[in-house]
Amino acid sequence: MAYEYLDKYSVEELQGYFSDFHKDFYGHRPRFGTPEEWRSRGWLVVNIDAIHNAMDNLKKTYSGREQLRIAGWVIDEAEFDDIVDPEEYANWSADQDAIYYGA
């Protein structure tokens, strides 16, 4: 998925966006890529899109959305009413009860 608003950012803005977004999502700043790649708009956009895609994939399941919430992301469950799998939710809920009660 391409995020068209990224076209409006300068390379320097994309560098900051990518570095901050990577840290927010993975917990650390990106330490990969050559200096040439870091100056490449295309490389930056591809890597930003990869994080968005990873986040979108997590949002497909209740447990993935809960993982995002635990990491501090604000996820409105009402957006996902149409894709909640009742069995997955029941299993997740039972697992959380077991963790809470020490079972």
What are the boundaries of each domain within the chain?
4-101
Say whether pLDDT at 1 is over 60: no
pLDDT tens across 62-97, in order? 889 889 999 999 987 777 665 556 676 667 677 777
Looking at every residue in the chain, the average pLDDT score rounds to: 86
pLDDT of residue 100: 72
pTM tops 0.85, yes or no: no
SS (H, E, C) the chain: CCCHHHHHCCHHHHHHHHHHHHHHHHCCCCCCCCHHHHCCHHHHHHHHHHHHHHHHHHCCCHHHHHHHHHCCCCCCHHHHHHHCCHHHHHHHHHHHHHHHHCC
- CA separation for the pair 63, 24 (Å, rounded): 19
Q: Which amino acid is located at 93 in the chain?
A: S
pLDDT of residue 101: 80
Highest mean pLDDT of the ranges 7-11, 12-16, 71-75, 76-80 = 12-16
Q: Which residues contact 21 (CB under 8 A, 6 or more apart)?
A: 48, 51
